Amino acid sequence: MRILEGHEAGDVLARYAGGPTWRRASDSILQERVDGILSRVRDGGDSAVRELALQFGDEPPERFELDRDSIAAACARVSWETRGIIERAAENIATVARAVADLIKPVRVEQDGFVVGVEFRPVECVGCYVPGGRFPLPSTALMTAITARVAGVRDICIVSPRLTDEVVYAGTLAGVSHFYRLGGAQAIAALAFGTESIPRVDMIVGPGNTYVTEAKRQLQGTVGIDLLAGPSEIAIIADATANPCWVALDMAAQLEHDPLSRAFLFTTSRKAAEETVQQLASLWSNHDLPGNHDASSAGVFIAVFSNLSDCVAASDMIAPEHLHLHLSQPAALERQPRYYGALFIGYHSTVPFGDYMAGPNHTLPTGGSARFSGALSPLSFLRAQNFVEVCRLDRQAALRTFGFAELEGLSMHAAAVRARVET
C-alpha to C-alpha distance for 189 and 168, rounded to whole angstroms: 22
Domain residue limits at 191: 64-225
Q: 276 with 168, same domain? A: no
357 and 271 within one domain: yes
Question: Does residue 343 belong to any structural domain of this protein?
Answer: yes
Is 130 in the same domain as 277? no
Residue 250 pLDDT = 97
Asked if residue 218 and residue 71 are part of one domain, the reply reads: yes
Contact between 22 and 208 under an 8 Å Cβ cutoff? The reply is: no
Q: pLDDT digit string (tens) for 324-382?
A: 999 999 999 999 999 999 999 999 999 999 999 999 999 999 999 999 999 999 999 99
| Domain count for the chain | 3
List the CATH number of the domain containing 298.
3.40.50.1980
* Mean pLDDT of the residues in the chain: 92
Whole-number pLDDT of residue 22: 46
Catalytic residues: 321-322
The answer to whether 169 touches 77, Cβ cutoff 8 Å, is: no
Whether residues 326 and 403 share a domain: the answer is no
Give the tens place of pLDDT for each residue, 60-83.
Answer: 888 999 999 999 999 999 999 999
Q: Is 310 exposed, middle or buried (0-12, 13-18, 19+ CB in 10 A)?
A: middle
Of 225, 245, 272, the last residue of a domain is 225
Shared domain check, 353 and 299: yes
Domain contains 112 = yes
- Mean pLDDT, residues 230-240: 95
Q: Are residues 238 and 207 in the same domain?
A: no
48, part of any domain: no
Whether residues 296 and 214 share a domain: the answer is no
| Pair 273, 151 in one domain | no
Is 194 within a domain?
yes
pLDDT in the model for residue 293: 53
- Same domain for 219 and 283, yes or no, is no
Domain end position, chosen among 170, 191, 225: 225
Same domain, 328 and 402: no
Does 362 lie in the same domain as 297?
A: yes
Close Cβ partners of 331 (under 8 Å, ≥ 6 residues apart): 345
Is the residue at 277 inside a domain?
A: yes
Among 179, 207, 225, where does a domain finish? 225
